[in-house]
Amino acid sequence: LVLPKTPLNKRIIKIIIVGDSTVGKTSLMNQYVIKRFSEVYRVTIGADYMAKNINIDGKLMTLQIWDKAGWECYFSEEAAFYSEADCCILVYDITSCKSFENLKSLKEKILSLRNDKTDVNFPFIVVGNKVDREDERKISSEIARQWCRENGNIPFYETSAKEYINIDNAFMMIARNVLMHA
Ligand code: GTP
Ligand code: MG
Protein backbone atom coordinates (compact mmCIF):
# COMPACT_ATOMS: atom_id res chain seq x y z
CA LEU A 1 0.00 0.00 0.00
CA VAL A 2 1.43 3.33 -1.04
CA LEU A 3 -0.02 6.35 0.66
CA PRO A 4 0.08 9.59 -1.25
CA LYS A 5 2.62 11.95 0.21
CA THR A 6 1.49 15.27 1.56
CA PRO A 7 3.77 17.88 0.05
CA LEU A 8 5.87 19.44 2.78
CA ASN A 9 5.41 22.89 1.38
CA LYS A 10 1.64 22.70 1.31
CA ARG A 11 -0.10 25.52 3.11
CA ILE A 12 -3.50 26.95 3.70
CA ILE A 13 -4.23 30.58 2.97
CA LYS A 14 -7.38 32.02 4.49
CA ILE A 15 -8.90 34.72 2.34
CA ILE A 16 -11.89 36.74 3.48
CA ILE A 17 -14.15 38.54 1.02
CA VAL A 18 -15.93 41.56 2.43
CA GLY A 19 -18.01 44.44 1.11
CA ASP A 20 -21.57 45.75 1.01
CA SER A 21 -24.47 43.47 0.34
CA THR A 22 -25.04 42.61 -3.36
CA VAL A 23 -21.61 43.79 -4.59
CA GLY A 24 -20.99 40.21 -5.77
CA LYS A 25 -18.84 38.54 -3.10
CA THR A 26 -20.57 35.16 -3.30
CA SER A 27 -20.62 35.37 -7.10
CA LEU A 28 -16.86 35.99 -7.22
CA MET A 29 -16.20 33.02 -4.97
CA ASN A 30 -18.54 30.74 -6.93
CA GLN A 31 -17.03 31.70 -10.26
CA TYR A 32 -13.50 31.27 -9.00
CA VAL A 33 -14.03 27.90 -7.31
CA ILE A 34 -16.84 26.16 -9.18
CA LYS A 35 -17.12 28.23 -12.38
CA ARG A 36 -20.75 29.04 -11.87
CA PHE A 37 -22.69 32.29 -12.01
CA SER A 38 -26.34 32.96 -11.22
CA GLU A 39 -28.36 36.11 -11.90
CA VAL A 40 -30.59 35.16 -8.98
CA TYR A 41 -29.55 36.89 -5.79
CA ARG A 42 -29.41 34.68 -2.72
CA VAL A 43 -28.39 36.56 0.37
CA THR A 44 -25.49 35.13 2.37
CA ILE A 45 -26.24 34.61 6.04
CA GLY A 46 -23.30 34.77 8.41
CA ALA A 47 -20.41 33.43 6.38
CA ASP A 48 -19.70 30.61 3.99
CA TYR A 49 -16.53 29.11 2.59
CA MET A 50 -15.07 27.15 -0.27
CA ALA A 51 -11.60 25.74 -0.82
CA LYS A 52 -9.48 25.58 -3.93
CA ASN A 53 -6.01 24.17 -4.50
CA ILE A 54 -3.65 26.23 -6.57
CA ASN A 55 -0.06 26.11 -7.63
CA ILE A 56 1.90 29.30 -7.11
CA ASP A 57 5.39 29.23 -8.52
CA GLY A 58 5.72 25.51 -7.79
CA LYS A 59 4.17 25.69 -4.31
CA LEU A 60 0.93 23.84 -3.74
CA MET A 61 -1.43 26.00 -1.72
CA THR A 62 -4.99 25.59 -0.52
CA LEU A 63 -7.03 28.76 -0.67
CA GLN A 64 -9.75 28.75 1.92
CA ILE A 65 -12.09 31.46 0.76
CA TRP A 66 -14.48 32.92 3.31
CA ASP A 67 -17.42 34.87 2.01
CA LYS A 68 -18.96 37.16 4.60
CA ALA A 69 -22.54 38.44 4.49
CA GLY A 70 -22.82 42.10 3.54
CA TRP A 71 -25.76 42.54 5.93
CA GLU A 72 -23.96 43.01 9.22
CA CYS A 73 -26.80 42.08 11.52
CA TYR A 74 -26.50 38.43 10.54
CA PHE A 75 -23.00 37.92 11.86
CA SER A 76 -21.92 37.84 15.49
CA GLU A 77 -18.35 36.50 15.42
CA GLU A 78 -16.75 39.17 13.38
CA ALA A 79 -13.60 39.71 15.43
CA ALA A 80 -12.62 36.02 15.26
CA PHE A 81 -13.46 35.96 11.58
CA TYR A 82 -11.06 38.83 10.84
CA SER A 83 -8.36 37.67 13.22
CA GLU A 84 -8.03 34.28 11.60
CA ALA A 85 -7.69 35.65 8.09
CA ASP A 86 -4.39 35.85 6.22
CA CYS A 87 -5.65 38.49 3.84
CA CYS A 88 -8.76 40.31 2.71
CA ILE A 89 -10.49 41.15 -0.55
CA LEU A 90 -12.45 44.41 -0.25
CA VAL A 91 -15.21 44.38 -2.87
CA TYR A 92 -17.34 47.22 -4.17
CA ASP A 93 -19.74 47.42 -7.12
CA ILE A 94 -18.63 49.91 -9.82
CA THR A 95 -22.30 50.96 -10.23
CA SER A 96 -22.71 51.83 -6.52
CA CYS A 97 -21.05 54.90 -4.97
CA LYS A 98 -22.10 53.82 -1.51
CA SER A 99 -20.35 50.45 -1.79
CA PHE A 100 -17.13 52.25 -2.75
CA GLU A 101 -17.42 54.87 -0.02
CA ASN A 102 -17.85 52.14 2.58
CA LEU A 103 -14.46 50.57 1.85
CA LYS A 104 -12.58 52.93 4.12
CA SER A 105 -14.57 52.26 7.27
CA LEU A 106 -14.69 48.57 6.45
CA LYS A 107 -10.92 48.40 6.17
CA GLU A 108 -10.48 50.31 9.42
CA LYS A 109 -12.97 48.08 11.20
CA ILE A 110 -11.17 44.93 10.07
CA LEU A 111 -7.80 46.22 11.24
CA SER A 112 -9.16 47.34 14.58
CA LEU A 113 -11.02 44.07 15.24
CA ARG A 114 -8.03 41.90 14.38
CA ASN A 115 -6.25 40.68 17.49
CA ASP A 116 -2.88 41.46 16.05
CA LYS A 117 -3.34 45.19 15.80
CA THR A 118 0.33 45.75 15.15
CA ASP A 119 0.10 43.92 11.84
CA VAL A 120 0.41 46.87 9.48
CA ASN A 121 1.24 44.45 6.68
CA PHE A 122 -2.09 42.64 6.67
CA PRO A 123 -2.63 42.23 2.90
CA PHE A 124 -5.69 43.72 1.26
CA ILE A 125 -6.72 43.92 -2.35
CA VAL A 126 -9.54 46.04 -3.70
CA VAL A 127 -11.90 44.63 -6.31
CA GLY A 128 -14.38 46.76 -8.28
CA ASN A 129 -16.91 44.21 -9.50
CA LYS A 130 -19.59 44.24 -12.24
CA VAL A 131 -17.48 45.81 -14.99
CA ASP A 132 -19.84 44.18 -17.47
CA ARG A 133 -22.29 46.94 -16.48
CA GLU A 134 -20.14 49.71 -17.92
CA ASP A 135 -23.22 51.78 -18.91
CA GLU A 136 -24.18 52.16 -15.26
CA ARG A 137 -20.67 52.82 -13.96
CA LYS A 138 -20.45 55.41 -11.12
CA ILE A 139 -16.86 54.91 -9.94
CA SER A 140 -14.10 55.44 -12.48
CA SER A 141 -11.01 53.23 -12.48
CA GLU A 142 -8.87 56.33 -11.88
CA ILE A 143 -10.75 57.33 -8.71
CA ALA A 144 -10.51 53.81 -7.33
CA ARG A 145 -6.85 53.43 -8.24
CA GLN A 146 -6.04 56.71 -6.53
CA TRP A 147 -7.92 55.65 -3.40
CA CYS A 148 -5.88 52.42 -3.33
CA ARG A 149 -2.63 54.38 -3.66
CA GLU A 150 -3.58 56.70 -0.82
CA ASN A 151 -4.66 53.88 1.49
CA GLY A 152 -1.47 51.88 1.59
CA ASN A 153 -0.77 51.05 -2.05
CA ILE A 154 -3.40 48.36 -2.20
CA PRO A 155 -3.45 46.27 -5.40
CA PHE A 156 -6.57 47.00 -7.45
CA TYR A 157 -8.60 44.95 -9.93
CA GLU A 158 -11.81 45.49 -11.81
CA THR A 159 -13.72 42.25 -12.27
CA SER A 160 -16.89 40.73 -13.55
CA ALA A 161 -18.15 37.65 -11.77
CA LYS A 162 -20.73 37.40 -14.51
CA GLU A 163 -18.29 37.35 -17.43
CA TYR A 164 -15.31 35.88 -15.61
CA ILE A 165 -13.12 38.94 -16.02
CA ASN A 166 -9.94 39.25 -13.93
CA ILE A 167 -11.05 36.80 -11.25
CA ASP A 168 -8.07 34.45 -11.43
CA ASN A 169 -5.72 37.43 -11.45
CA ALA A 170 -7.26 38.93 -8.33
CA PHE A 171 -7.10 35.71 -6.29
CA MET A 172 -3.59 34.96 -7.52
CA MET A 173 -2.41 38.43 -6.56
CA ILE A 174 -3.69 38.18 -3.01
CA ALA A 175 -2.25 34.68 -2.54
CA ARG A 176 1.13 35.94 -3.77
CA ASN A 177 0.92 38.86 -1.34
CA VAL A 178 0.36 36.49 1.56
CA LEU A 179 3.38 34.44 0.56
CA MET A 180 5.48 37.61 0.36
CA HIS A 181 4.45 38.61 3.88
CA ALA A 182 4.87 35.10 5.30
P1 GTP B 1 -24.55 39.44 0.22
O2 GTP B 1 -24.51 37.97 0.35
O3 GTP B 1 -25.89 40.03 0.55
O4 GTP B 1 -23.48 40.13 1.03
O5 GTP B 1 -24.28 39.83 -1.35
P6 GTP B 1 -23.04 39.39 -2.26
O7 GTP B 1 -22.00 40.46 -2.21
O8 GTP B 1 -22.60 38.02 -1.95
O9 GTP B 1 -23.66 39.46 -3.75
P10 GTP B 1 -24.01 38.25 -4.72
O11 GTP B 1 -22.77 37.57 -5.18
O12 GTP B 1 -25.05 37.41 -4.12
O13 GTP B 1 -24.58 39.06 -5.98
C14 GTP B 1 -25.67 39.96 -5.87
C15 GTP B 1 -26.33 40.13 -7.21
O16 GTP B 1 -25.42 40.74 -8.13
C17 GTP B 1 -26.79 38.81 -7.85
O18 GTP B 1 -28.01 39.01 -8.50
C19 GTP B 1 -25.68 38.51 -8.86
O20 GTP B 1 -26.17 37.78 -9.97
C21 GTP B 1 -25.27 39.91 -9.29
N22 GTP B 1 -23.84 39.98 -9.69
C23 GTP B 1 -22.76 39.56 -9.00
N24 GTP B 1 -21.64 39.78 -9.69
C25 GTP B 1 -22.00 40.36 -10.85
C26 GTP B 1 -21.27 40.85 -11.99
O27 GTP B 1 -20.05 40.79 -12.08
N28 GTP B 1 -22.02 41.44 -12.98
C29 GTP B 1 -23.37 41.54 -12.92
N30 GTP B 1 -24.00 42.12 -13.94
N31 GTP B 1 -24.09 41.09 -11.86
C32 GTP B 1 -23.41 40.52 -10.84
MG1 MG C 1 -23.21 36.69 -0.53
171 vs 39: CA distance, rounded Å: 22
Residue range 134-160: average pLDDT?
97
Can you give the C-alpha Rg of the chain in angstroms? 16
Per-residue model confidence as pLDDT tens digits over 25-52 = 999 999 999 999 999 999 998 889 999 9
- pTM of the full structure: 0.93
21 vs 25: CA distance, rounded Å: 8
Instruction: Report which of 137, 131, 136, 138 is spatially closest to residue 159, judged by C-alpha positions.
Output: 131
- The ligand 1 atom at the shortest distance from the C-alpha of residue 39 is 20
140 vs 74: CA distance, rounded Å: 31
With a cut of 80, say whether residue 115 has pLDDT above it.
no
Per-residue model confidence as pLDDT tens digits over 67-76 = 998 887 656 6
- What is the pLDDT, as a whole number, of residue 73? 63
Please work out whether the CB of residue 31 comes within 6 Å of at least one atom of ligand 1: no
Instruction: Kindly indicate the confidence band of residue 21, based on its pLDDT and cuts at 50, 70 and 90.
Output: very high
